[in-house]
Amino acid sequence: MGSATAMHKFRLVPWVASYGTLIALLSIDEITMAGTGLATTPVQLQQLQTAQNIVLMVIPHDVSFRFRVDEKRLPEVSCVYRIAQAATFNDVLKVLNKSIFEYKKDNREIAEVRVGIIFENKGNSIQEFYFEDWGGAHDINGISGEYRLLASADLPNQLRTLLTRQEVALIKSGNLVCPHS
């Protein structure tokens, strides 16, 4: 019996519970297990309901580096924003819901990390997403833990449009010119 590779197509389904708590559950559109036919659920995203804020890290389009940027280096070389639970928080979840269309257990690195999204609670990371950015030229790869993601080409630009909102706080810019209101 050979090894099975799981390919998942999913969407996050955010809704507000009776007490205004944001809950994000995984809704699986299609699960294919090569060689086994077994249906298993990918990483549960239910823990996002406890997130108090999102840290969004974005490298501006016109910035390039001599060496590849990975998820460890991204906070040092990007514009870093904090988003508290508000309309923009929900909009980040909607962007992820619309944009991520493939989910695969795979620990390969991506070409270069240019966008990072960290869901936090009391300073601790709950879930982290990192993506490439090819300026909208083609679909982008991403990673979240031990999972590899495939997302629409416009995901980074959709996130960039949220950066000028009032509830988004620029917390670090380094020497970069970071978009903000």
Residue 101 lies in a domain: yes
Residue 151 lies in a domain: yes
Rg of the Cα atoms in the chain: 16
Average pLDDT over residues 36-50: 44
- What's the pTM? 0.76
Average pLDDT over residues 55-75: 93
- Residue count of the chain: 181
**Residue 53 in contact with residue 120, Cβ under 8 Å?**
yes
What percentage of residues in the chain have a pLDDT greater than 70? 73
User: What mean pLDDT value characterizes the chain?
Assistant: 77
Average pLDDT over residues 20-36: 34
Q: Residue 148's beta-bridge partner residues?
A: 104, 143
Residue 109 lies in a domain: yes
Residue 107 lies in a domain: yes
Total domains, the chain = 1
Residue 2 lies in a domain: no
Burial code (b: 16+ CB inside 10 Å, e: under 16) for 98-111 equals ebbbbbebeeeebe
Average pLDDT over residues 60-83: 94
pLDDT digits (tens, 9 = 90+) for 139-160: 999 999 888 999 999 999 999 9
Q: How far is CA 86 from the centre of its chain?
A: 17
Q: Could you give the CA distance from residue 139 to residue 151 in angstroms, rounded to a whole number?
A: 6
Residue 102 lies in a domain: yes
> What is the predicted pLDDT for the residue at 66?
92
Q: Could you give the CA distance from residue 72 to residue 66 in angstroms, rounded to a whole number?
A: 16
Q: What is the token pair recorded at 36?
A: 């086994």
Residue 168 lies in a domain: yes
Query: 3-state class of 94 per DSSP?
Result: helix
